[in-house]
Each structure stands twice: as structure tokens, then as C-alpha cells.
Structure 1
């Protein structure tokens, strides 16, 4: 197992991806006025006894945020700011652009795919740059990309503060508290749409920083008491954002749920043996980003291609299969080749400059 790899977090990512998928599937069937027997059973057997209510999707999103904050912080200690940004871009952009282009062409063909408004060239350009959420009247080609905007802002902040993070690990987190506090004071209204997006980003960013603080404590860069104190500050920012907005996050008890998720992440960083470290876990976890990108488009297209007499069970099973196959193709055909191509470019000349002398020395040693 390579250093810095936490298999317990892979399991958590898989569970969170399944929960997001299920939550969106349930919303789709509910919005269409259809009853889904699995949802009835799961709701009565799990959701209601645990008092989860409408918390399933938000809990999964906060899980991704905390895990992302943790993992990205580990990467920040190994990479320069430029390499850090380049690697994050190659990880998310190629797959995102391929999915958005396909959705745009399908929407232009008139297939219902959850795109409100006209899918014109402006729509494509703003979605490719993730700026559609800052302009009124620009529909989202893929409804889940709002959370990607939060992630990208976090990536940019981490890249800028990498020198500070390595010298004074606590400082970027404290600066983020001050910056977010100012923005929450300045951006009070959520109209126009750009103001709403800023509020969304500022409200959810503290969750990623909680993940960062967990990583710093785990890496021995911060004392646990200091990490807890800084984490409380970010949690209070989340509470403030929640109390001062009706729309974000619009889930009762959301800050309390984030505390539970943070504790769960801490536990999962300690889990490393058995089936948790299996190759299949890593393989499925590596496809969670692809599932994140494709599940809503597949969910909205597939039932429309089925007969209304097919029933919700067949429609759901078809969506599951369609999402699994599409996500696997996206991972194999786009994600993996893009990362490999970039790593090859990134390491250009390294063999001659670094490895070749070792090879010469090795051959010399073998002839003695």
C-alpha cells in the first residue's frame, strides 16, 4: 500500500456516491408522480428510523467535501503550486468537458435531459468554464456541477497558500476563516444569481477546510487540540451561513450532520486492512467522479426511452446499468488516458536527467 493512501476513505466515497445516486433517483420518480417500491421499503426501514428525512443527499455531499479537503491537503505537501493545479485540472476537466459536450449535443437534438432553457453556444461555453452559475438565464447542462465550483475554489485557494501551508500549517485555515467571514457579511442577498453562487461557495467551503484540518492533525502538522479549535471556527462559519440564508444549505440540522461526517472521516482514516484495502474497492472508488458526472444525465434520459408500461423497477435497473457502463467507459476512455498523457508530459526529460545516470551506474556495477 503506497504511503498517504487511506483505503477507508475509498469505502466512504463509494457509499457517498451510492447515496447521491439513490437520492437523485428518488427525486426523479417523485417529481414524476411515480411510486417506487424500493424507496418505500428503504424509507420505512432505514430513513425514518434514523430520522434522516431529506438529509441523505446533503450528507453524501458533505462527505465528499470533507474527504476532498483531507486528500487534497495530503497532495499539497507533495506538489508545487503549479503542479498541484495542473494535476487537479487534468483530473477533473477532460471528463467534465466530454460529458458536457455530449449532454449539449443530446439536448440540441431535443432529447429531455434536465436542461431548462435553450442549449445554445453560450450555454455550452459557460458550462465548460463553470461560469453558468454566475449568469442569470444560463442553464446547467449537468445539475451536479454546482458542487464542483466549490471544489475548484478550494483548489485555487490551496494552490495559492501552499507555501504558507508548509511553513505555518495553521495559517491558511485561519486566513480562510477571516475571508469567509468578510464575504458572508458583504454578500447578504442572494439575488442576482451571482450573489447566490458566492453564498453557496462561502457556506460550503468551511466543510473542506474541516477536512484539511483533519489531514493536518493526521500528518502530525497540528496538535489535535489546535486542529479541533480551528475546526470549531470553520463549523461556526457554516452555522452562520446556514442561519443567514434560507436557501443554503436549506436542510434542517445540516451543521450537526457535518460534525458526524467529520468524526466518521476520522474513523475511516484509521481503517486499512481486510477487504477495505481490496483492489475492487480502489477500482470502484476511482470511478466515483465519473459516476458523479454521468448519473443525472443517464437518470433523465433512460426512463424517457422506456415505455411507460415498463414500470419503475425496470426503469431504475436500467438507470443503474446505464450509469455503471457509462461511468466505466468515461473512466477508461477519458480519465485514465488524460492523466497518463499528462504524467508523461510532466516527466519529459526526467529519464535523461535523473534516471539515466542510475542506469549507467547499475550497468557498471553489474560488470564488476
Structure 2
């Protein structure tokens, strides 16, 4: 049975909450939420936290799996929620837009090239890129060489970020290379390094590679931060770096053995972890739509209602929808395997 890291699930939910705050309380034209910009403008850092967590969690879940088992586990985790959330987003957008079917189909099939039914799905293309890398390692029976793959990913992403920062080289390829992990590979590599450190002591060259990955991640955060930083607020740039650093420190701490918790607390925390993915998928377009419809009661009330609604929908997905769909998928797979 795989190790389960409770603290990381809590951290994952908080990261999703940060992203929701960013879209609903900063990056929108619905209302002026300037008073809370100090804590909402850097909510995009939740995505960078997600990527580090994915590097750690996927390495842990892939360890000891066959390629088929790995793919099955990823399908069970990703598809049921995206089918529900993409359909809900399609319904919401259909009231004011047309010609949404191609984007919807790309979304429910997790095609790594957009446009998708919601712009936030771009991160799934990045995730799929890392899944492909891990799958290839499993297929080649080289998962034990994960450290070398993490090194290659660290170097590739670092060079890509240098190209992006200096504007010298194939900048367009780096900017469009989500599935190739050109820009974000350093985050997944860092997560993989942290996981490897839970299985054995890192070698000197691995510790150096981990340090390079951290520096590359900070560089990417700086480049991303410049895109969203409010005008004249350069002093705010430190905030996302500090929050991300704190999150990475928590991942490292939570990955170590801790005190056992009660079964009730375990269930609640696992539910939070399962809610993270649908919360991320529905908070943007669905959340903004809810926020817009409650503006009549005041912008702060609308903001709170939109966030709470997104959380409620995510609970419905993980507690009611996903278990039923997963049972059907498992039953179909078992039938196929025994036919």
C-alpha cells in the first residue's frame, strides 16, 4: 500500500483556494477588489505549488506500478471529475456563447492542446507532459533511474527559462511548450527530488541538482509574477516567492513520518485532497458567473458566495459523482480483462 501524506492534501487544497482567490478576487472585471489585492494578486502561485506536489505524488504513486496500472490510476483520478466540471462549464457558457463543442471535447478527452472549455485547463497539459515522462520510464523499466530523469528535466527547464528571460533563442517554443515541460519542468523535478529524498539519502550531485531546480523555480515565479504584478507594486514581488518557499518546506516536512491521526480526521483530510481537482476546474468560469449574479447583494457578498459555491460543487463531485463513475470504470475494466 502506498504511503499517504495527509499534510500534502491539506496543502493542495490551500493551493487551490489561492488560485480561486486570484481569479475571483483579483483577475476579473466584475468588481473592484483592490482592498484584498495584497493577498489575492499572487494566488497564481498555487499552480506552481500544484506542480511540485504532482512531482512528489506521481513519483510516489508510480513506484512499483506497471505502465498499465499507472495509466489506469491516472485515468481514474482525472477523467470522472473533468467530465462533470467541463460539462457544467459548457452549460454555463452556453447561455451566452456558441461553437463550444470542439473546446468541450478537447477538455473531456484531456487533449493537451487547447483551446479548452476553460483557460485553467492549460495546467492539465503540463501535468500530462509529466505523466508521459513517468509512463515512459515505467515502460522502459527504468523507474529506478528517476533521479537521472529529474536531472535532465531540471537542466532542460533551467535552459528554457534562461531563453525566456533573455529572449535569446526559441522563445516561442518555450512559451508554447507546456506539454514539453519547458517552462514548468523544474517544479516537477523538485517534487521528484523531494520524493527520492524520502527513499534514501541524496547523493552530492543530486543535492546540487535539487538546488538548481529551486533556483530555476524561483526564476519562473519571478517571470510569472511580472505578468500579474499590480502597477507600481514591485515590493509585492517577494510575496509569491515566500509563499511558494513555505509550501515547499511544508511538502518536505509532510513527506516525513509523523504522528498517526484518527480515522475521522483521515477521512476529512482525504476529502479535502479529493476536492482540490474539481475546485480548480470549476472555480474560474463557473465561479465568476456566480459572482456576477450575486453582485446585487454587494461585491464582497458575491465574492464569498462564489468561493463557497465552488467549494460546494467540488464536494459534490468528489463525494457523490466520482465514486459512482469510478465504480463503473473499474467494473468495465475488470470485464475487459476477464473477457
Q: Distance in 1 between matches of 2:13 and 2:112?
A: 29
Note the C-alpha offset of 1:157. Answer: 0.5
1:123 maps onto 2:103 in alignment: yes
Counterparts of 1:278-357 in structure 2 under 5 Å? 278-306=266-294, 308-346=295-333
| Structure 1 runs not aligned, ≥5 long | 48-52, 112-117, 353-368
Note the C-alpha offset of 1:195. Answer: 5.6
249 and 347 in structure 1: CA distance in 2 versus 1, 3 angstrom threshold = farther
Are 1:217 and 1:224, in contact at CA under 8 Å, matched by a contact in 2? no
| Structure 2 runs not aligned, ≥5 long | 230-236
Q: Distance in 1 between matches of 2:34 and 2:220?
A: 35
| Structure 2 partner of 1:366 | none
Q: Distance in 2 between matches of 1:322 and 1:258?
A: 26
Q: Distance in 2 between matches of 1:325 and 1:167?
A: 41
183 and 25 in structure 1: CA distance in 2 versus 1, 3 angstrom threshold = closer
Select the residue among 175, 192, 203 that pairs with 2:152.
175
Q: Distance in 2 between matches of 1:144 and 1:348?
A: 35
Q: Distance in 2 between matches of 1:288 and 1:94?
A: 14
Q: Normalising by structure 1, what TM-score?
A: 0.73
Are 1:216 and 1:227, in contact at CA under 8 Å, matched by a contact in 2? no
Q: Distance in 2 between matches of 1:299 and 1:208?
A: 28
Secondary structure, aligned partner of 2:3: coil
1:84 maps onto 2:83 in alignment: no
Counterparts of 1:1-368 in structure 2 under 5 Å? 3-27=2-26, 31-35=29-33, 39=36, 43=38, 47=39, 54-58=41-45, 60-110=46-96, 119-131=99-111, 133=113, 138=115, 140-162=116-138, 163=140, 165-180=142-157, 188-191=169-172, 196-198=175-177, 201-220=181-200, 222-223=201-202, 225-238=204-217, 252=237, 258-270=244-256, 271-274=258-261, 277-306=265-294, 308-346=295-333
Note the C-alpha offset of 1:92. Answer: 0.7
Q: Deviations over 1:277-331 (max 9, x none)?
A: 532122222211111111113312113333x431023212321332133212222
167 and 284 in structure 1: CA distance in 2 versus 1, 3 angstrom threshold = closer
Note the C-alpha offset of 1:207. Answer: 0.4
317 and 75 in structure 1: CA distance in 2 versus 1, 3 angstrom threshold = same
| Structure 2 partner of 1:364 | none
Secondary structure, aligned partner of 1:170: helix
Secondary structure, aligned partner of 2:26: helix
Q: Normalising by structure 2, what TM-score?
A: 0.79
Are 2:85 and 2:281, in contact at CA under 8 Å, matched by a contact in 1? yes
Aligned length: 322
Note the C-alpha offset of 1:205. Answer: 1.6
Q: Distance in 2 between matches of 1:323 and 1:241?
A: 28
C-alpha RMSD of matched pairs (Å): 3.5
Note the C-alpha offset of 1:145. Answer: 1.0
Over alpha carbons, which structure has the higher Rg?
1
Q: Distance in 2 between matches of 1:349 and 1:99?
A: 27
Note the C-alpha offset of 1:335. Answer: 2.1
